[in-house]
Structure 1
Amino acid sequence: MPNTLIWIPKRLVELGLVNVAARSPEAFIDYCEQDYAARVEHAAACVRESGAHVVMLTGPSASGKTTTAHKLADCIAAHGRRSAVVSLDNFYKDLKDYPRLPDGSVDYESVDALDISAINRCLLELIRTGRTQIPDFDFCGERRRHGVIPVEVGDGVVVIEGIHALNPRLTALLPEGSAFKIYAGMREEYSRDGQRILPTRDVRLARRMVRDHKFRGHSLEKTFSMWPAVCEGEDKNIKVFKPEADLLLDTSFSYEVCCLAPFVTALRGELAPGTPYAAQLESLCSRFALCMPLPEQSIPRTSMLREFIG
C-alpha cells in the first residue's frame, strides 16, 4: 500500500525579500546551508530509526539527488553505520537493448532501459549478506564494461540513487520494510509583486543549463531541446511514484537564485534572435537578472549547489 504522507505545498517567496537577505551574503548563505544540512540529518535519523539496510532515493532532473545521496550516506556513517552510494546508472543495459519509442528512437527515460533482474538480485544480496557486485557501465560507449564493482557495507546502509529508485518493480522482491524510500525535490518558488516568476522547474532548468554548459560540453540548444522530454519523463516515471516515499526531502536553497544569476545572465545573447530557444533563453535570463547576484567564491566548497556550478 502507498504511504500516506502529505506532500508539503511549495513555498512562494517574494524575490524582493531574497534580495534584501542577499545584502548580508555570509549570514544568508550560512543559514540556508545549515537548513539544508538539518534536513539531510533528519533524513539520516529516519533511516536509522527504520532499521532499513537499503535507501531508495529519487528526484527529478537537477534536484540535487546525487549529491544529497552522498551527504545522506556521510550522515549515516557519522553515526557509526557503514554506508555506500550506488547509482542506478550502473544498471543500464547496452544501448542496443534499450526500449524504443513509437518513432523508433531510443527511450532513455524508460525503466526498462535498466537491468531490473540484476537490480533485484543485488538488493537482495545487500540485505541478506551486506555485500554485492554491481555492473560497471561505460557512459561514453553506452554499454557495459567487462568486470564488476564490489559493494560491501556489512550491516550498514546502501543508498541507491536514480530517477527510477521509487519504481516498485525495483523493490518488489525485497522483504517488507527492508527499504526506506526518499523523494528529493525542490519546494521553493519565487515571485515578484505577488506573481510567480521562477517556478521550481525553471530553477532546475537553470541548474541543468549551467552544469551542462560548464562541465558536459552540451550546447544551449541541446539542453533546451532535451528539456521537454526530460519533464515528460519526470511526470511519467518519477513523480507518479511520490506516494511510495517514506520521506520527502526538500533540496531548495533560498539564496540559490542569487548564486545562479551571474551564470545564467552571462549566457544572454548566446542564441541569436529568432533561432530556436532564443526567446526561452531570453525569458530565463531576464527573470534571473532580477536577482541580486552573489559571487561564486561566496558559495561554500561543500555546498550541494557545487554539483551544478563546480
Structure 2
Amino acid sequence: MPYQLQDINRGLRTDPAGYLARCDHAYQGRIEAAVDQILARMKDSPIVLLSGPSGSGKTTTAMKLEQELERRGVNSHTISMDNYYKTLNRKTAPRTPEGDIDYESPKLLDLDLLDETFTRLSRGDWVVVPKYEFARQMRNDSRGTFLKLDKNEIAIFEGIHALNDDIAGRHPEATGLYISARSNVLEGEEMRFKATWMRISRRAVRDYNFRGTDLLETLLMWYNVRRGEKTYISPFKNRANIVIDSSLPYEPSVFAHYAAALGEAVDQIPRDNPRHQEFHDLVDAFRYFEPVDLDLVPPESLIREFIGGGSYSY
C-alpha cells in the first residue's frame, strides 16, 4: 500500500520523534504477525527460509524475528546463507551475458550441502555451519560452527536465494518468508519515490559507510543487481508463506542527507548506462521530503542497518 507524501511531511513537521516512533512500531507489528505464522507452521518444520532482494533489510529483520521468537520462549538461530558459497572456481563459475562472473547466481552456492543441512536439522541431528571468507573467496570449513535444534528451536536461513527452486523447492515444508521494500510514495496519484529507490539508497549508503565501496561503484553495479533479482529472486517470491514490506515512510527523508553525495556520483554515470535517467530522477526526488534529524532515528530502527548507530550488531 503506498504512502502519501503529504502525510509523511505533516508527521515530520509536527512531531518528528513521535512520527518516527509510530512508523517503527508499525514495522514491529509486521514482525509480530510474521512470528504468529512461523509458530503456527513450526509443527511442519523448524526451518525458516528468509529471502529478499538487495537492500531489503533481511539482516535486521532476521534479528527482529529472532528477538520476538525468543520473547515468546522459542530459541532461534539465524544463519547467513552466504556461508554456503562454494570456494570460487573462475573456470567453472556461471557467467553473465557480458562474460563476467555472475555473482548473483545461486549456482555459486553449495546447494547439496544446504539440502543436507535442512534435513539433518529437521531430524534433530548435529550439523556444521561452514564459514565463507569473502576476502579469499573461499569456504573455510575448519572455522565452521556446530548447530543442533532441540524441540522448541528454530533456524532462520537468510539469503537472497532462500526461496529458489533448488533450495526451498527441495524443502516445501519449510516456512518461506519474503521481504522487500514494497511501498511507493505518492503525492495524490503522482509518483514521488519508488520502493526500489529505497533499496538502492539503502545499499549505496550502507556500502559507502561500512564496506568501503564508493557511491559510484554501487550505482554502476545496480543494473546487474536488478537483472539478477529479476532472474533469480522475484520469480520465486510466490513460494513465500509470509511477505513483509520493509519500507518505512520516513526513510527518503533520512537518505536525503546523502543526496548531495549521491548527486555527485550520478553526474559521473555515463549516459549509455541503462539506469542513468532513473538515478537522476532519484536524486531529484529527495527535494519533496521534509528533512529529519538523523539523531531522531530510533536505535532499533531497521534503517540503522544502513546508516549506523543502531542497537544491533552486524
Q: Distance in 2 between matches of 1:286 and 1:75?
A: 38
Could you tell me which of 126, 140, 148 is aligned with 1:152? 148
Tell me the alpha carbon deviations over residues 81-135 of structure 1, each in whole angstroms, 9 at most, x when there is no partner. 1100011100001121532334432111111110001101111111011542111
Q: In structure 1, what residue type is equivalent to 2:3?
A: V
The residue that corresponds to 1:263 in the other structure is 258
Tell me the alpha carbon deviations over residues 179-222 of structure 1, each in whole angstroms, 9 at most, x when there is no partner. 10111112211123531121111111111111111111112221
Matched-pair identity in %: 31
Superposed displacement of residue 13, structure 1: 2.6
For 1:108-257, list aligned pairs within 5 A.
108-129=103-124, 131-147=126-142, 148-155=144-151, 156-174=153-171, 177=173, 179-192=174-187, 194-257=189-252
Q: 1:67 aligned to 2:67?
A: no
Superposed displacement of residue 12, structure 1: 2.8
The 1:267–1:125 alpha-carbon spacing in structure 2 relative to 1, beyond 3 Å, is: same
Q: Is the 8 A contact 1:57 1:183 kept in 2?
A: yes
Superposed displacement of residue 270, structure 1: 4.7
Q: Distance in 2 between matches of 1:56 and 1:271?
A: 35
The 1:214–1:92 alpha-carbon spacing in structure 2 relative to 1, beyond 3 Å, is: same
The residue that corresponds to 1:289 in the other structure is 287
Q: In structure 1, what residue type is equivalent to 2:229?
A: E
Superposed displacement of residue 172, structure 1: 4.2
Superposed displacement of residue 146, structure 1: 4.1
Q: Is the 8 A contact 1:265 1:289 kept in 2?
A: no
Superposed displacement of residue 153, structure 1: 3.2
The residue that corresponds to 2:3 in the other structure is 13
Q: Is the 8 A contact 1:130 1:154 kept in 2?
A: no
The 1:13–1:130 alpha-carbon spacing in structure 2 relative to 1, beyond 3 Å, is: same
Q: In structure 1, what residue type is equivalent to 2:243?
A: L
Q: Is the 8 A contact 1:265 1:286 kept in 2?
A: no
Q: How many residues align?
A: 298
Q: Distance in 1 between matches of 2:170 and 2:215?
A: 42
The 1:195–1:171 alpha-carbon spacing in structure 2 relative to 1, beyond 3 Å, is: closer
The 1:26–1:95 alpha-carbon spacing in structure 2 relative to 1, beyond 3 Å, is: same
Q: In structure 2, what residue type is equivalent to 1:79?
A: R
For residue 268 of structure 1, give the secondary structure of its aligned residue in structure 2: helix
The 1:187–1:267 alpha-carbon spacing in structure 2 relative to 1, beyond 3 Å, is: closer
Q: Distance in 2 between matches of 1:111 and 1:81?
A: 30
For residue 2 of structure 2, give the secondary structure of its aligned residue in structure 1: strand
Q: Distance in 2 between matches of 1:160 and 1:220?
A: 29
The residue that corresponds to 2:297 in the other structure is 299
TM-score when scaled to structure 1?
A: 0.90
The residue that corresponds to 1:84 in the other structure is 77
Q: Distance in 2 between matches of 1:246 and 1:268?
A: 39
Superposed displacement of residue 280, structure 1: 5.4
Q: Distance in 2 between matches of 1:254 and 1:125?
A: 41
The residue that corresponds to 1:5 in the other structure is none
For residue 145 of structure 2, give the secondary structure of its aligned residue in structure 1: strand
The residue that corresponds to 1:93 in the other structure is 86
Q: Distance in 2 between matches of 1:272 and 1:227?
A: 16
The 1:108–1:284 alpha-carbon spacing in structure 2 relative to 1, beyond 3 Å, is: same
Q: Distance in 2 between matches of 1:193 and 1:247?
A: 29
Q: Distance in 1 between matches of 2:80 and 2:205?
A: 22
The residue that corresponds to 2:311 in the other structure is none
Instruction: Output the aligned Cα RMSD.
Output: 2.0
The 1:289–1:186 alpha-carbon spacing in structure 2 relative to 1, beyond 3 Å, is: same
Q: In structure 2, what residue type is equivalent to 1:298?
A: L
Q: Is the 8 A contact 2:178 2:244 kept in 1?
A: yes
Q: Distance in 1 between matches of 2:166 and 2:94?
A: 16
Q: Distance in 2 between matches of 1:170 and 1:42?
A: 25
Q: Distance in 2 between matches of 1:22 and 1:187?
A: 21
